[in-house]
Amino acid sequence: MNAQSTPEPLSAQDRPARLTVGVVGAGRVGPALAASLKLAGHRPVAVSGVSDASRRRAAELLPGVPLVSPAEVLAAAELVLLTVPDDALPALVAGLAETGAIRPGQLLVHTSGRFGAAVLDPARRAGGLPLALHPAMTFTGTSVDVQRLAGCSFGVTAPEELRLAAEALVIEMGGEPEWIEEAARPLYHAALAIGANHLTTLVAQAMELLGTAGVSAPARMLGPLLGAALDNALRSGDAALTGPVARGDAGTVAAHIAELRAHAPQAVAGYLAMARTTADRALAHGLLKPELAEDLLGVLADGGNQ
């Protein structure tokens, strides 16, 4: 399903029955998804969490739902959200299967972007129904996450016979299902990490540099600029590139690098890497004139040490 299309209304046979829901791993994601499923008519019945923070999240987003062990979650729920860190997921699934905690016909949903449905193969062999539903959103661990799920794209991977059920659950949470092939999951997740995680790093670094330059309200200054840049980039891609690198202004770029070396040397490597990538893309798309690119690329190759 295309993420830009409007989902067709679900037929009765495609709509999931009202299910009891359990959460294994009360991090930032699981309780929010369970709360969203509750709004759609499903019934959260059990949640597991170890840390004080996870227990607080569960109490806030799933009030009255008992905190129990993972095995007890699986015993109580027809739909189980396995919302643990990526590296912990394979061992968790294997352990649940080995101990006989998985029941035939039980829906097992993980929310890892990295993995597809294959990581749930031990559960499938035990009779479970594997679904990979990854919300392409950052989570705060608060009730605001439930609201943000409206219109959020989910990367969906599942056996073909479970595709309609997987997409229906996403739509019930207010999301937009986007089918991702099993083999494409790592690339899909890398793309999201580049866009979201690296964006946070860039914005935080830009605010620090503005503060060093004497700007009293860096966030207020950056907000309109970055909002416009993001909107333009989403609409136009590389055609939205502006600034000294895209213009081939080698002297300005050299001055930037010199200032960063003097005041924020930890930012130089990131600036050079992003400037080189920007220059390559600007050249490829005809934005950077070849006659200006030579001096610019020379500055970047030299790291500003001219």
Which residues lie closer than 8 Å to 2 by C-beta, 6 or more apart? 178
The answer for residues whose C-beta is within 8 angstroms of residue 112's C-beta and 6 or more apart is 86, 89, 119, 132, 134
Closest to 120 in 3D by CA, of 163, 151, 158:
158
Spatial contact of 39 and 147, defined as CB atoms under 8 Å apart? no
**Pick from 260, 264, 241, 263: nearest CA to 299:** 260
pLDDT tens per residue across span 190-233: 999 999 999 999 999 999 999 999 999 999 999 999 999 999 99
Q: Given this model, what pLDDT does residue 241 score?
A: 95
- Collect all residues with Cβ–Cβ distance below 8 Å to 270 and sequence separation of at least 6: 201, 202, 205
pLDDT at 17: 74
Q: State both tokens at 241.
A: 């590139």
Q: Residue 135 has which token pair?
A: 């919300």
What is the structure's pLDDT at 232? 97
Q: Which residue, chain included where needed, has tokens 């540099």?
A: 209
Reported as a single tens digit per residue, the pLDDT across 57-95 is: 999 999 999 999 999 999 999 999 999 999 999 999 999
What is the side-by-side order of every strand in the sheet holding 43-48?
A: 43-48, 20-24, 79-82, 107-110, 129-135, 153-157, 176-179
CA 259 vs CA 72, 200, 263: distances in Å = 58, 22, 6
CB 254 within 8 A of CB 306: yes
| Predicted local distance difference test score (pLDDT) of residue 302 | 82
> Is there a contact between 45 and 20 (Cβ–Cβ < 8 Å)?
yes
Stretches in the chain below the pLDDT threshold 50: 1-7, 9-13
pLDDT of residue 16: 62
Question: What is d(CA 230, CA 226) in angstroms, rounded to the nearest whole number?
Answer: 6
